[in-house]
Amino acid sequence: MLDPRTLAARRDEVAESCRRRGVVVDLDAVIGHQERVAALTTRLQEVYRQRNEHQGRGKRPLEVAERESHAAEGRRLKDEAARLEAEVVEAEKELRTLACTVPNLVHPDAPTGGEADFRVLRHSGTPAHFDFRPLDHLSLAERLSLVDFEGGAKVAGQKFYFLKNEAVLLELALQRFALDVLIDAGFTPFVTPDVARPEILDGIGFDPRGPETQIYSIANEDLCLIGTAEITLGGLYADAILDEDALPLRLAGLSHCFRTEAGAAGRESRGLYRVHQFSKVEMFAITRPEDSEAMHEELVAIEERIFQALEIPYRVIDVASGDLGAPAYRKYDIEAWMPGRGEAGDWGEITSASNCTDYQARRLGIRVRRKATKRNEFAHTLNGTAVALSRAPIAILENHQRADGSIGIPKALQPYFGRDVIGPR
């Protein structure tokens, strides 16, 4: 949600961003509605003022007849207020609905276009040359008894799985490795709840309901399974007014992530790439508005450090305007080289870092108290994947596979993993 008043002030800029996103929104309707809500609110407050004045006159002892007519007038004012209140509530609800259709602004340097129009910012590493035909991660994992999708389907359904043997150790090693990198970088580590209230999801910009939702709801509870720790870490600071000196906040959250993947049938669905549950170490940052772009670069730099240490070839892309998602102002994805993907290997997204500017902060009520002006402003929030324990293992398995079917463990991970190879078996 963009603030309807800043929307009015920056109307043309917002319109241009919507155009670049390919989103059709009637901005003038939102602005007009905001004005109507303000006018209604003013009228309601005037009735409140009258009511207060009237009540002041009832504080002294009154004759019986006087008391009667006083009470009657009071009831009249109360009814009038109630009527207006209902109108205001209704109008505000509608305004919120309208305002929520307006996505965030888009960074001027982000490429314009759809999913395929990303800009490649840089490459790191070179895809390994195999003198044998490399397998995809699923075949590798099955040969080595690392995952059990059949068992997952048996107890929980399609796209759930068991990790087994070294895959379990690999998951834990990657978690711990990533956390160490983040702690070094000044992040405070968290293990967060795996569930959250719908308001929190909504504040972060996830739609907990509706047919296209990515979110599981828990029956008979007002709770959802989280799709990422971004939800819980952001929610942790909902309604906070933060001291300017306390920023930026760097938070690292380890959680399980649950996604329904509604409407994603058939899309790159093999193996661990797109599953209903996985673990993730997520970065979340809260900054002053002027610091968010630098923080965005910092988050990507950390992601790159992690994947360089894991010896995974990758490229960093600047996601195009049409593929950003409503909260994001700019998004950088890291795509790892996955030798087993497609016919002869392909790039696959393994992390994603977004600068959401004040879009989430506004909905969650995360503010900064400015020292100079003593005023409160909405903070900026950012999030980025340190390591997703579904996709990072794909990249490791596929890139570090050997002719004998074993998997080499990158040096940086060996102390965490405990040995230097998985298999062969």
Q: Mind telling me the catalytic residues?
A: 259, 274, 349, 352, 391
DSSP conformation letters of 181-192: HHHHTTPEEEE-
Q: Which of 48, 130, 160, 162 is in the footprint of RNA by CB under 7 A?
A: 48
Q: Which is nearer to RNA, 241 or 403 (CB)?
A: 241
Q: Quickly count: other Cβ atoms within 10 Å of residue 28's Cβ.
A: 11
Q: Which is nearer to RNA, 126 or 220 (CB)?
A: 220
| Region from 54-62, 138-146, 166-174, 273-281 binding RNA, contact rule CB under 7 A | 54-62
Task: Say if strands 346-355 and 277-287 run parallel, antiparallel, or are unpaired.
Answer: unpaired
* Binders of RNA in range 7-46 (CB under 7 A): 37-39, 41-42, 45-46
Q: Is 246 one of the binding residues for RNA (CB under 7 A)?
A: no
The CB-of-64 to RNA minimum distance in angstroms stands at 12
Measured CA to CA, the distance from residue 252 to residue 342 in angstroms comes to: 33
**Closest residue by Cα to residue 128 from 334, 386, 397, 318:** 397
Does residue 279 contact residue 171 with C-beta atoms inside 8 Å?
yes
By CB under 7 A, the count of residues binding RNA is 27
In the shown chain, the binding pattern of residues 353 to 372 toward RNA, with x for contact by CB under 7 A and - for none, equals --------------x-x---
* Binders of RNA in range 375-404 (CB under 7 A): 376
Q: In Å, what is the CA distance from 57 to each residue of 50, 52, 71, 248?
A: 11, 9, 11, 52
Query: Residue 340: which region, alpha, beta or left (left: phi > 0; alpha: psi -120 to 50)?
Result: alpha
Q: Which is nearer to RNA, 84 or 300 (CB)?
A: 84
Q: Which is nearer to RNA, 240 or 421 (CB)?
A: 240
Q: In Å, what is the CA distance from 260 to each residue of 171, 216, 276?
A: 22, 6, 6
Q: Which of 29, 241, 246, 262 is in the footprint of RNA by CB under 7 A?
A: 241
Measured CA to CA, the distance from residue 11 to residue 34 in angstroms comes to: 13
The contact set with RNA (CB under 7 A) reads 5, 37-39, 41-42, 45-46, 48-49, 51-55, 58-59, 70-71, 74-75, 77-78, 241, 367, 369, 376
